Structure 1
């Protein structure tokens, strides 16, 4: 019998209520939980409330081993091109590699480039947040508009919503819909003298993003008049320096990211610039108290654990997916 069939067969015997499971095993919480000891506080991973018992747990670990999960994990961390459909590495882990252990792609260590972009982000954010960066009339920035779609929008939106209690004085807005109403309604409440636009497009040719960006630029120039002022109010998250310059953005205000960063993880790259402006220093591994350390620190410290931890500590993630079970999230709508 295959490891998968063994697991599924065993799982069918698992009691379907939490009450039964805890009654049959008084030590269930201890056995099915894991504490991550971090520099800024601990995080409890409690998977005792999942429909799994000791026998099915062991079968699940066996399935992971038979499926070479650890080997595949190591391949990802070592820079192998495990994205075989596009022949690319999958290295969002490099963006969170604060140990600076070399990570190679095609024989080149990507860490110097990663650190350069993160340092650039940090320097820029400090200037904007401190008021050193001025708009074309000499006023400081109060609002940031992120224009992007997909991974250039969803991750930053999620992070800024979740970490709203850590927000600074800068307000962040997100525009992704090609429908002109979205950009129009956003601009209606903004002052061009104090607004900064972030255009997030790797190629700088994405139709939806560039259409909205041109609309934002036209709105801005209605007030600023002089095209040279664009450089003070628009920055680019891109690798196409030629198109960025053509738009009117200074090349030093272009933040690079790489094809080995998937959209769902891109918030750790330059795509996270809006997050950093909103809640603090996303680039530094040692962040001051008023920044988004809850997310940054937990992930930075969690990553080495993922790279070396036994598979049993990962079970809380894989079990619901493997069984195609529905996951439900509790959210208090009153918090916004």
Structure 2
């Protein structure tokens, strides 16, 4: 939702809730013949992701008469685990890999960001990456007293260690970030 003003003509649905309701609602909206499923999981073993992926695959196969050869045209993986991707049934030629050391919270800058890139378009995604680069540059080049990420981190340590604060709030400053 935060990026909807930048969206391209491609309809994108993100599903991450394991309860199945969200996926069921999305599956009502899509056409198996024109849908590409991007399964994004670093290890390809995360329970929530694989549960949803298996449900999506079962639905898809029911729509195409059980013909597993169609999976190669409609499923791609964003993962570091080629073995698990192949076990799932996705052709590893349709796997977008990235390095094992990429942490989950930072993975949008890796192949995991493909769904975002498709949703907002290449030019917008490139601007998104340049924004991240600007923050990195600020962090590495700005003097300590003006270094916003460093000061934020130090404040977090200060409030945790000296005041016993156990909660850290990052409040969105824009309505489109209300889901964060």
Does TM, normalized by the shorter one, top 0.5? yes
**Greater Cα radius of gyration, structure 1 or 2:** 1
* Runs of 5+ unmatched residues, structure 1: 1-160, 282-287
Q: 165, 182, 187: which is aligned to 2:27?
A: 187
* Runs of 5+ unmatched residues, structure 2: 160-164
Deviation at 1:329, TM superposition (A): 3.4
- The two structures have a TM-score, normalised by structure 1, of 0.45
| Residue 258 (str. 1) matches residue 99 (str. 2) | yes
Return the structure number with greater helix share.
2
Return the structure number with greater strand share.
1
| Residue 162 (str. 1) matches residue 5 (str. 2) | no
Deviation at 1:188, TM superposition (A): 1.0
Alignment of 1:12-27 (within 5 A): none
Alignment of 1:1-336 (within 5 A): 161-225=1-65, 226-281=67-122, 288=123, 291-315=124-148, 317-318=152-153, 320-321=155-156, 322-323=158-159, 328-332=171-175
Deviation at 1:175, TM superposition (A): 1.4
Instruction: Give the direction of change, closer, same or farther, for the CA distance of 1:255–1:230 in structure 2 (3 Å limit).
Output: same
Q: Aligned equivalents of 2:155 and 2:80: distance in 1?
A: 38
- The two structures have a TM-score, normalised by structure 2, of 0.80
SS for the counterpart of 1:173 is coil
Q: Aligned equivalents of 2:6 and 2:50: distance in 1?
A: 31
Q: Aligned equivalents of 1:180 and 1:174: distance in 2?
A: 13
Q: Aligned equivalents of 1:328 and 1:214: distance in 2?
A: 35
Q: Aligned equivalents of 1:320 and 1:234: distance in 2?
A: 44
| 8 Å CA contact retained: 1:320, 1:326 | no
